[in-house]
Structure 1
Amino acid sequence: MRFLFKAMLWFFGVTIFLVIVFKWVPIPYTPLMAVRAMESRPEGKKPYEGHHDWVPIEKISKNMQRAVIASEDGNFLTHHGFDFNAIQKAMDNNEKGKKLKGGSTISQQTAKNVFLWQGRSYLRKGLEAYFTVLIELIWGKERIMEVYLNSIEMGDGVFGVQAASKYWYRKDADKLSKREAAGIAAILPSPRRYTATNSTSYIERRKSRIVKHMAYVGKLDY
């Protein structure tokens, strides 16, 4: 019992310390980046070439910020880490046998990408909720958006919006137009399956819907 109590103290101490540090320090590497590097090792695959360039949020186009809110988490600016309406909707549709993405918010996705492994276990979901609460309390919305856009996978071996902007459009992240930002946001459900340029008709339709919904995001009042 005493050992368990000490272990819990260490866990809370270390995790809170990391979240405080990463409020100010750029995240250099994520678990998913490590996984992708390991996946490329089997014989016959080309050497892994990861692309990841951290940029401050001031150098990320407002179009890109609005695009991910419009496509991934419409209530990002108002919820406190969890969108319970979206979660309930996802659960209802899953019960009906409909294929629908989960109700994860940008905050939850950020917590998972930075601190945790990929998977669907109850343990990982519990830790995801824990880290989501921490980053909402300690980081705030602007920092969460900054980390999210610098850490998520936006192509095969492409992580973060600066690398994605260079990879897909050959320009910096602060120069993205509405349509270009929507192009990157449109492939986020499956960034290694779809392409932001020379896209399928499905992705082109998603781009158009995202551009339309971006108008409703309004002012980015973090």
Structure 2
Amino acid sequence: MARRSMVRRFFRAAAWVFLTLVLVFVSLLLLFRYVNPPTSAFIVSYSIANPDQEVRQQWVSYSDISPWMSLAVVASEDQRFPDHWGVDFAAIRKALAEYHAGEGLRGASTITQQTAKNLFLWNGRSFVRKAMEAGLALAVDGLWPKRRILEVYLNIAEFGPGIYGVEAASRVYFGIPARQLSAQQAARLAAVLPNPNVLSVNSPSPYVRDRVFWIRGQMDQLSGLQYLKGL
């Protein structure tokens, strides 16, 4: 009886902890729908690991970001962004099918998942983190409009060591504000997002140049700026 009582108390305590965490995250998500996050988990992690390095970030509203930039990241990373619910289950099924066919496991994270991960979580490939990322992404998509998701993502994404957000990236790499980015410049920035600590905007490798060419083609295939006009 005593053992059964201890087990019951343990599960009750675990349930309260889980519910508390859910309430905290939901409260933060509701707040960040209207208030710009002061920082992100990835920025804090970078600052701790590199205390002598400057973090460059300048928040700008969605209306002050070139529409080419939104289209470039959607074309590059998440073409079903306007339609899915934060997690692209069709892309996950396809990735798993390719994995079982021996083609290697590729990522299937949406922009919403990346936003949730960058804002709240840590980097890595553990199933625990991926499960938390997916749960948060579903909550983000349910509580934020798509336009807000893109706005937050473009302001916290890393474009190079210590360079966070499209405004800082635009000024560092091109000497212009984000609202002036051309389609080609937006594609160059989007091309390094898979691994901004290895891929370079200023000194693009053949791989990056190929990605830029591919992204520009996808931007055209998505009907240009009309694709995200309804967000």
Taking structure 1 as the reference length, the TM-score comes to 0.92
SS at 1:52's partner residue? coil
Correspondence 1:32 to 2:42: yes
In our comparison, the structure showing a higher alpha carbon Rg is 2
SS at 2:34's partner residue? coil
Taking structure 2 as the reference length, the TM-score comes to 0.88
Tell me the residue number matched to 1:177: 182
Cα distance in 1 for partners of 2:128, 2:211 equals 33
Which of 71, 82, 89 is equivalent to 1:84? Answer: 89
Which of 163, 167, 187 is equivalent to 1:158? Answer: 163
Tell me the residue number matched to 2:73: 68
* Contact 1:69/1:217 (<8 A) preserved: no
Cα distance in 2 for partners of 1:97, 1:11 equals 38
Q: CA deviation at 1:74?
A: 0.7
Cα distance in 1 for partners of 2:148, 2:110 equals 15
Aligned length: 217
Cα RMSD between the aligned structures? 1.6
Alignment of 1:1-222 (within 5 A): 1=9, 2-41=12-51, 47-99=52-104, 101-218=106-223, 219=226, 220=228, 221-222=230-231
Query: Structure 1 stretches of 5 or more lacking a match?
Result: 42-46
* Contact 2:62/2:151 (<8 A) preserved: yes
* Contact 1:154/1:188 (<8 A) preserved: yes
Code of the residue aligned with 2:188 in structure 1: it is G
Worse overlay, 138-147 or 112-121: 112-121
SS at 1:190's partner residue? coil
Normalized per residue, which structure has more helix? Answer: 2
* Contact 1:63/1:181 (<8 A) preserved: yes
* Contact 1:183/1:197 (<8 A) preserved: no
Cα distance in 2 for partners of 1:73, 1:216 equals 14
SS at 2:159's partner residue? strand
Tell me the residue number matched to 1:44: none
